[in-house]
Amino acid sequence: MLTSTVLATQPDFSITAVSCRDDHTRWSQAEVREDYRVVLVRRGRFRRRAAGAPAEVDPTVAYLGVPGEEERFAHPVSGGDVCTSISLTPALWRVVAGEDARPARHSVYVDARLDLAHRRVLASARTGDVDHAVTEEFLGLLSATVGQAVDGAIPPGVRPGRDEATLVAAARHAIGEAHPASEGLLPLAELLGVSPYRLSRSFTRELGVSLTRYRNRVRVGRALDRLDAGEDSLANLAADLHFSDQAHLCRTMRQYLGHTPTALRQLLAPESL
């Protein structure tokens, strides 16, 4: 039995938790997918055969799939398995791997650092901030996996363009002006004409904080402005500042300030000063 739960989705990618409880040693019928994908195992073990080559897949070995590829699976170990499947559009694949790139190998070794990157993607998905937090973590994971499998894949940040200070200043301006593209890492990078890898790395090197944390800092400031002005609807505040929901707003405010919006409203009241 196969079940799946979408953890995060955007026009360019989706991240899905897949649980399989099949128990068969023989190869399954051939399956053909039409997307690029990276699949990492969280628990269990199974076999995959693609391009005529079988591979053992478990938490230490991930695999890459490409459109039109015929694949078969076998599940010789009872107990089932749980995986994270990341599906990419061709456009995002080209950003990650380069033009017309195909994997030279389909299996990817998952070392401890890549295991941690995988777990950080799953943790970021629980925040609800798909546009920035999830995207930023997931791009790092893709860089590590695709870089192993695609010869000549573009390493993070290695693309010609403007210097980092100018790039970060332009990104900050777009975020500060609430440009529609600033609501997501991928559209913001496209607006600025750079790789999303480079934009993410440049922020950290230039300011010492991630792009996600910087954007949240700006949103928290705007939330404080609204609360200080007497905003009484947290649902409206969350929607206006592009949080996924009111709970996401509250979590972020508590994370950055140690207080919920309700407590902050009281702290900002004249009688409390």
For residues 1 and 21, is the Cβ–Cβ distance under 8 A? yes
Residue owning tokens 């937090």: 133
**pTM for the predicted model, two decimal places:** 0.79
How far lies 111's CA from each of 20, 35, 178, in Å?
24, 25, 39
Residue 161: the pLDDT is 47
Sign of the dihedral defined by the CA atoms of residues 110, 79, 18, 67, in that order: positive
- 103 three-class SS: coil
Residue 13: the pLDDT is 94
The one-digit pLDDT tens for each residue of the chain (273 residues) are 789 999 999 999 999 999 887 766 788 888 898 999 999 999 888 889 987 788 899 999 999 999 998 999 988 766 678 999 999 999 888 888 877 777 778 888 898 889 989 999 999 998 888 989 999 999 989 888 888 888 655 554 444 445 888 899 899 999 999 999 999 999 999 999 998 988 998 988 888 889 999 999 999 999 999 998 888 899 999 999 999 899 999 999 999 999 999 898 888 876 654
- Ranges assigned E (strand) in the chain: 2-10, 13-20, 31-32, 36-43, 46-50, 53-57, 61-65, 70-74, 81-88, 107-109
